[in-house]
Amino acid sequence: MTKISMTVDEVSYSDEIEPRTLLVHYLREQLGKVGTVVGCDTSNCGACTVELDGQSVKSCTVLAVQADGGTVTTIEGLAVAGALDPMQQAFHDNHALQCGYCTPGMIMAARDLLQNNPHPSEHEIREGIEGNLCRCTGYQNIVRAVQQAAGMTSGASS
């Protein structure tokens, strides 16, 4: 067992864990942060994406011990006092989710994209979220949502 500490969604935690514990399993099983989900074994789907020390990472491909001392933001930490993050709002406005399973990771990846490139082209948006698979939407409304969040369009619908 190894002792780790980290701040997750602005709460400090300290735990003894097995070194093999994946960050996503630590979040889900020990911290109850079940908003972040697991979709694959091979870091392809991106459903588990969280922000670690300011950058998007796939939390199923990071050991919890590697995040020791770090600061993690999950989907659950975005809406502050009931106000949605602009990316969350944009996903809602543009019907950028159907089943919603990929959504936490997609939103975290999209936020990171805009952090690195505040005014991406459609092509850059598509490449920027290439690490996240969605099986429901065909991505078109996700692209629209990212465009809205980037301030490039208003809501696509009434």
Partner 1 sequence: MTAVSDRPAAEIGKARRRKEDQHLITGRTTWTDNMTLPGMVHLAILRSPMAHATITSIDATPARQRPGVVAAFTGKDFADIQGDLPCAWPVTPDMVNPGAPSLAVTQVNHVGEAVAVVAARTKAEAVDALEAIDVEYEPLPPVLDMEAAVADGAPLVHPNTTSNRSYTWTFESGAAGTGQPIDGALAGAEVTVTRRFIQQRLIPSFMEPRSVVVQPVGDGILMHSSTQVPHILRTMLGLTLGIPEHKVRVSAPDVGGGFGGKIPVTPEEVITTLVARKLGKPAKFTESRSESIMSAHHGRDQIQDITITAKRDGTVTGLDVHLFADMGAYLRLVGPGVPILGAFMYNAIYKIPAYRFVCEGIFTTKTPTDAYRGAGRPEATFAIERIMDELAAELGMDPMELRRKNWITHEEFPFTTVCGLTYDSGNYEAATDRALELIGWDELRREQAERRERHDPVQLGLGISTFTEMCGLAPSRVLGSLDYGAGGWENASIRMLATGKVEVVTGTSAHGQGHETAFSQIVADKLGVPFEDVEIIHGDTQSSPKGLDTYGSRSLAVGGIAIVQAADKVIEKARRVAAHLLEASEDDLEFEAGAFSVKGSPGSSVSMGDIAFATFSAHNLPDGMEPSLDADATYDPVNFSFPHGTHLCAVDVDTETGRVTIRKYVCVDDVGNPINPLIVEGQVHGGLAQGIAQALFEEAVYDDAGNLTTGTFVDYTPPSAADLPSFTTDRTVTPSTDNPLGVKGVGEAGTIASTPAVVNAVVDALRPFGVTDVQMPCTPERVWRALQGTEKSDRAASGTNAYGGAATTEGGAE
Partner 2 sequence: MIPAAFDYVRPSSVAEAVSALGAAGEDGKVLAGGQSLIPVLRLRMAYPSVLVDVGRIPELQGVRDDGDAIVIGAMTTHHAVMHDELVRQHAPLIAQATATVADPQVRHRGTFGGALSHADPAGDLGAVALALGAEFVASGPGGERRIAAADFFVDYLTTALSPDEILTAIRVPKLGAGWSSHYEKFNRVAQAWSIVGVAALVRRDGGTIAEARIGLTNMGPTPLRAFAVEQALAGAEASAESIAAAAAHTAEGTSAPSDLSGNADYREHLARVLTARAVRTAAGA
Binding mask 67-106 for partner 2 (x = CB under 8 A): ----------------------------------------
Is 7 a binding residue for partner 2 by CB under 8 A? The answer is: no
Using CB under 8 A, which of 43, 99, 138, 155 touches partner 2? 43
Q: Is 121 in the site for partner 2 (CB under 8 A)?
A: no
Query: Of 47, 27, 29, 28, which Cα lies nearest the Cα of 39?
Result: 47
Nearest to 71, CA basis, from 131, 23, 119: 23
- Residue 72 and residue 9 in contact, taking contact as beta carbons nearer than 8 Å: yes
Question: Which one, of 45, 140, 150, lies nearest residue 87 by Cα?
Answer: 150
Contact string (CB under 8 A) for partner 1, positions 107-126, x = contact: x--------------x--xx
Smallest distance from the beta carbon of 56 to partner 2, in angstroms? 5
Tokens 């922000």 correspond to: 51
The answer to whether residue 144 forms part of the interface with partner 2 (CB under 8 A) is: no
Tokens of 42: 């091979």
CA atoms of 96 and 75, how far apart (whole Å): 16
Residues near partner 2 (CB under 8 A) are: 2, 18-20, 22, 25, 41-44, 46, 49, 52, 55-58, 60-63, 65-66, 109, 112-113, 116, 127-128, 130-132
